[in-house]
Structure 1
Amino acid sequence: MPNRKLNFNSYSKIMLLLLMSICLMNSLKAQTKTKIYKLANYGILPGNGKNTSALLITVLQKIKSENNEQVAVVIQFQKGRYDFYPEGAEKREYYISNHDQDNPKIVGIALENWKNLTLDGKGADLMFHGRMLPIALIGSTNVKIKNLSIDFEKPQISQIQIIENDTLKGNIIYQVAPWVDYKIKDSVFYNRGEGWEMRPGSGIAFEKDTKRIVFNTGDIAVGTRGVTEISPGKISVRWKNKKLVPGTVIAMRSGPRPSPGIFVHKGKDISFENVKVHYAEGMGLLAQLTENIYMDGFGVCLRGKNDSRYFTTQADATHFSGCWGKIISKNGLYEGMMDDAINVHGTYLKIIQKIDDHTVIGRYMHGQSYGFDWGNVKDTVQFIRSNTMELWDTKNTITSISPVQGDVKSPMKEFKITFSKPLDVAIDPAKTAIGIENISWTPSVSFTGNIIRNNRARGALFSTPKPVVVTHNLFDHTSGSAILLCGDANGWYETGTCTDVTISNNKFVNALTSMYQFTSAVISIYPEIPNLKEQKKYFHSGIKIENNTFETFDQPILYAKSVDGLRFSHNKIFTNKTYPAFHHNKKRVLLERVVNLAMDVNKIDGELVELKPQ
């Protein structure tokens, strides 16, 4: 009897394990089931010039309704051009970091609350009209977009070419690019497109043959007032700038940046493969409050060497605000944009009121950064003195956070935040300006194998305490600094301290050809510290710059301010005479408040030299 009972129990256990295995296998099969949808089967075809907006909305809704979250959905375009117009498109209220907070946004492809989705363009060329946000990824998980490009038929940047420049009389004749639609009213030049019209206020000058920004020009004034049309597309204007030799191509810009090419909000595990943004009125890609973003072959770039345009986006190529997990960018091409290739940061709130020893009111301070969440319960925060950019030693944890709004329709600008531990008595906004940083919402970054060239302002910006690796990239004529480690609780309110940065095996070619903000050297470690003299702690730490190659016509290679732990070793510097030296900083290495410094085995023009920081 005992043996039979044992056998029966053993048999029961075996059968139970078998049933559990079968259930698990069926569950895994259900989770890995893939369904492929070809948009051509729903009448969405390339090359017909029809408005794709409304039909695609209907098709996406149908596909989503047919599947649950356990199904991996693949949606495929055919190769070719698809036109998207505002008519019939989605309208959404999105508050987008570092963009104009105007609403509603007109969205071409709104992918909201999707899971396990692949959108495969198969070489699709998505052409947008008017002022639209091409792709929005909202609240989605495990979504991949690949093999497509984004562009606009009528960019808000107008391109011209200098024909004649009479520097004595201060008169210029220029030719408007044939694809630019313009009008002249009361002797003022206006660029216009589908549903919009604006007067350019500034410009970026490019060399005709190289598409590089003209040396030592930066942001220039443009001739759009007092103009005379000589013939269609040929304009004469009182405009004096001796650097604009005949043949120079100018991208004339206006101020607005309403929407990026791609907007990612509150996502997780988002991937982009072989996606190109040729133009957007804001940034190429803006991601906020998102965990894990992967980019392989992502580009903000021209349509090859024969593209008649010289510019891409109105602002940064890629920008990450309040993200966490991992940000990976590899094998990308970033060129012709009007700002940085990548910028990674969080956002400081400014404490405007201390309610009690556990509770404060914090406010978004910049006009282009508000309207979205700032933190969650259990997030870790730290406090910073804005004047000296010194952190309090003690961190704290959020126990409650809620927006302070006049009504539920108002965008979030202020938050009432309660912390687990009592606040230091010195945290008093009545006595000094204080910022709060959410350090739970900070990512690690891997930026590898990318090309950054012929753009305005700077190359790459990083402000995160998590590990940052910048390696095997080419920074080619980035105009301003190639790499900037910043931090600012006074202007843009972009966090924060870097504690583990490796910059290695990169090549820098003739960076710093114009002057912009924070451009003190090719690599500029430049937190904005109003009162550096009173600072006792250090802002950045743990920075290694090793085995890089610098080709430069000027002196400044490295500038660093407020750093504890900086290594500059095994780097090679080659000098050239491509341009005349002009920078106000005449030092190879210029340091302010830097300790624990190591500088060894660096070469200039093949000779081992001892770089002496100034």
Structure 2
Amino acid sequence: MLKNTVLLLLLIFSLTLPLQAQTKVKTFHLDTYGVLPNLKENSAPKIALALLKIKAEIVAGDSVVIQFKKGRYEFHPEGALMREYYISNHDQDNPKLVGIELDGFKNLTLDGNGSDLMFHGRMLPLALIENTNLTVKNLRIDFEKPHIAQVKIVENDTLAGSIIFETAPWVSYTIRDSIFYNTGEGWEMQPIAGIAFEEDTKRIVYNSGDIAVGTSSVSELSPGLIKAHHWKNNKLIPGTVVAMRSYYRPTPGIFVHKGKNIGFRNVKVHYAEGMGLLAQLTENISLDGFEVALRGDDDPRYFTTQADATHFSSCKGKISSTNGFYEGMMDDAINIHGTYLKMTEKIDARTVIATYMHPQAYGFDWGYAGDDVQFVKSKTMDLWDHQNKIVSITPERKSKDVPLKAFRITFAKDLGHEIDPTTFDIGIENLTWTPSVIFSGNTIRNNRARGALFSTPKPTLIANNLFDHTSGCAILLCGDSNGWYETGACTDVTIRDNKFVNALTSMYQFTTAIISIYPEIPDLENQTTYFHSGIKIENNKFETFDHPILYAKSVNGLTFKNNTVITNQEYPEFHNNTNAILFERVINADVGDNTLNGSSINLLQTRSGIQD
């Protein structure tokens, strides 16, 4: 009996050994590698060396924690890693100067312990390349001198057409040939556009949108006090704060490429010259408590990122963003989409050449053998009832030094004679690289353009969010195979239990209502099918000063029920769409049980000749 018991214990012990090996945790403290906070020295080369040493000490099966000692770390371009990255929806110039690169790690947690990572010059702060089971937590990313020049209007002589403005204390500049240039470590830039903020609320000035800025024909009255001799805008009352910028977006704050199971916990991005976070070709990403935000109510800045707070291009699996906070960015809080390739040549019945079309979308993989695809007529956005599968996909280029722009793709089945680029402009969508989405418990406020964009056929839940003074529409369901080439058709979207407070105070692209279902369809009249479907908008609360609540175009199956609309007089009505609900080419719609200022009312209107 004793012998049997011993044998049993030995067997159990032997079976648990592999599990124990897999769960072994190794913790590495960066300060033991000479990476120390608060020294005002360049941490970039030291961290790169430390990560090389740590990687050499890791064996397969280790779970790894890399910890910062809490404090502030400086990162300068000198000595930083130089990498060639092609990043979706950014300017494709190379090389990039990288502050921290995590490449090829598995089962890793990077813990900042509440540290500030402060960047200088023009850099990509954090690059996560081909990692699996990686979590980043408890850190802040910021730049000492943002590439946006913040100024305050001191005097506005609307009759003379001149404005005097004062630069914020951290802004450095030079004036050359009467042109104002914002400057920093290794860079200078003439702002060409601006966003105007109310001084007290940090909200974008009503009905202002993108404004021209007076950075030519200027003179310095005293240090930090500039007169723009030919800048006229009667909305810029003294005290207005203007974020003067360009549209250049070289790098995000965080870049995720070809990862799997990537998580962010309590990570804050206070500024980046592109997106706050850009992820591409990644499977399963979760953001919990992620912020693209100011440093609290006392932060003297009025802006955060140069573009979107978060952006996901050609990802799959599940994307979740919960309990986030997004404010002051120069574009959307979240944008999820794939990329249409344009079919440029049909070689034979199963082989085509297809090409990236937008100048900010090329250089990275588009698909792989085994991926499912579908085809769309670009002008009408009609989807062919013909899905297919990739057998092979290879770059179509003269040499490996040329970035990926075109592909030779062979499909499993014949395409049929009608799918021919000599007859139609045709887009190709990769259905495999599309994610399901949960966007819940987030606050979006005081930002330019739009709140949240979703373009995926997988289930999408948008729930319990606060959209507070988004200057464009709050939610956009788009799809475009003509300009941005961002896929695609939504088939299962639930928008519920959200609160919308005075969205749509300015006009931007696709901002026809607070919720705008607006695929880009150049030839809607000749469309024969419907682009979006399966959209449910229920139990939301809209507080608004203007009319348009919902606009929908080319939808088969839309519910708008049990929503509450309350009007106020915070701003004058201005929108050219005076309908609460406006449908164009929508069928199988269920609109009812909604209230306007406490009374039940039918809010639906349709344009003439459109089905409803």
Provide TM-score, normalisation by structure 2.
0.97
1:219 to 210, 214, 236: 210
Which of 380, 383, 401 does residue 391 from structure 1 map onto? 383
Which of 27, 32, 38 pairs up with 2:18?
27
Q: For residue 92 of structure 1, what is the amino acid of its counterpart? A: R
**Does 1:426 find its partner at 2:418?**
yes
Match of 2:393 among 378, 385, 401: 401
Q: 306, 309, 315: which is aligned to 2:298?
A: 306
What corresponds to 1:46 in structure 2? 37
Cα offset for 1:30?
0.6
State yes or no: 1:536 paired with 2:528: yes
**Following the alignment from structure 2 to structure 1, what is the Cα–Cα distance between the partners of residues 556 and 8?**
57
Give CA-to-partner distance per residue, 1:407-447, whole Å, 9 cap, x none: 01111100000011111210110111001000000000000
1:121 matched to 2:112? The reply is yes
Contact 1:46 1:79 in 2 (8 A): yes
Give the partner amino acid of 1:535: Q
CA distance in 1, matches of 2:15, 2:270: 46
Deviations along 1:436-476, whole A, 9 cap, x unmatched? 00000000000000000000000000000000000000000
Q: Say yes or no: does 1:180 pair with 2:180.
A: no
User: 1:3 corresponds to which residue?
Assistant: none
User: What SS does structure 2 have at the residue aligned with 1:260?
Assistant: coil
Deviation at 1:20, TM superposition (A): 6.0
- Contact kept, 8 Å, 1:333 with 1:451, in 2: the verdict is yes
Identical positions, percent? 66
- Do the aligned residues in 2 keep the contact of 1:69 with 1:116 (CA within 8 Å)? no
Q: How far does residue 21 in structure 1 lie from its aligned partner after superposition?
A: 4.2
Distance (Å, rounded) in 2 between the aligned partners of 1:212 and 1:51:
36
Query: TM-score, structure 1 length as denominator?
Result: 0.97
Q: Does 1:142 align with 2:133?
A: yes
CA deviations on 1:223-247 (whole Å, 9 max, x unpaired) are: 1011011100001112110000000
Shift of 1:41: 1.9
Q: Structure 2 matches for 1:174-573, cutoff 5 A? A: 174-238=165-229, 239-573=231-565
Give 3-state SS (helix, strand or coil) of 1:22's partner. helix
SS at structure 1 position matched to 2:548: coil
Q: 2:605 is paired with a residue of what secondary structure?
A: coil
SS at match of 1:58: helix
3-state SS, counterpart of residue 275 of structure 1: strand
Instruction: Name structure 1 gaps, 5 residues minimum.
Output: 1-10
Q: C-alpha distance in 2, partners of 1:12/1:192? A: 79
Classify the secondary structure of the residue corresponding to 2:175: strand
Letter in 2 for 1:257: R
What is the rounded CA distance, in whole Å, between the counterparts of 2:604 and 2:303 in structure 1?
Answer: 39
Residue equivalent to 1:579? 571
CA distance in 1, matches of 2:12, 2:516: 57
Read off the aligned partner of 1:341 and give its amino acid letter: A
- Counterparts of 1:21 and 1:489, CA distance in 2: 59
Tell me how far 1:36 sits from its aligned partner.
1.0
Query: 2:295 & 2:400 partners in 1: Cα distance?
Result: 44
Q: Bigger CA drift: 424-433 or 476-485? A: 424-433
Contact 1:350 1:363 in 2 (8 A): yes
- Structure 1 ranges of 4+ moved more than 4 A: 11-21
CA distance in 1, matches of 2:5, 2:509: 70
Q: Distance in 2 between matches of 1:31 and 1:123?
A: 28
Q: 1:272, 1:356 → 2: CA distance?
A: 46
Query: Could you tell me which residue of structure 1 aligns to residue 609 of structure 2?
Result: none
Could you list the per-position Cα deviations for residues 185-229 of structure 1 after superposition, in whole angstroms to 9, with x for gaps in the alignment?
111100000000110000000000000000000000001011011
* Deviations 1:388-415, CA, capped at 9 Å, x for gaps: 0011112001111101111011111000
Q: Which runs of 5+ in 2 are unaligned?
A: 607-612
Aligned to 2:151: 160
Map of 1:5 onto structure 2: none
Cα distance in 2 for partners of 1:327, 1:19 equals 43
Distance 1:404 1:379 in 2: 19
Indicate the residue corresponding to 1:133 in structure 2: 124
* TM-aligned CA deviation for residue 69 of structure 1: 2.9
Between the aligned partners of 2:419 and 2:9, the Cα distance in structure 1 is: 61
Q: In structure 1, the residue corresponding to 2:604 is in which secondary structure?
A: coil
Distance in 1, matches of 2:424 and 2:601, equals 45
**Is the partner of 1:24 in helix, strand or coil?**
helix
| Paired letter, 2:112 | G
Contact 1:203 1:219 in 2 (8 A): yes
Cα distance, 1:19 vs structure 2:
6.2
Secondary structure at the residue paired with 1:307? coil
Displacement, 1:603?
0.5
Distance 2:86 2:172 in 1: 30
Name the aligned partner's letter for residue 274 of structure 2. G
Partner letter of residue 174 of structure 2? Answer: K
Tell me how far apart the structure 2 counterparts of residues 302 and 24 of structure 1 sit (CA, whole Å).
Answer: 51
- Pairwise CA distance, 1:609: 1.3
Residues in 1 aligned to 2:177 and 2:126: alpha-carbon distance in whole angstroms: 38
Instruction: Tell me, in whole angstroms, the C-alpha distance in 2 between the residues paired with 1:379 and 1:19.
Output: 46
How far 1:269 sits from its partner (Å)?
Answer: 0.2
Corresponding residue of 2:62: 71
Task: Give the match's secondary structure for 1:429.
Answer: coil
SS in structure 1 opposite 2:401?
Answer: coil
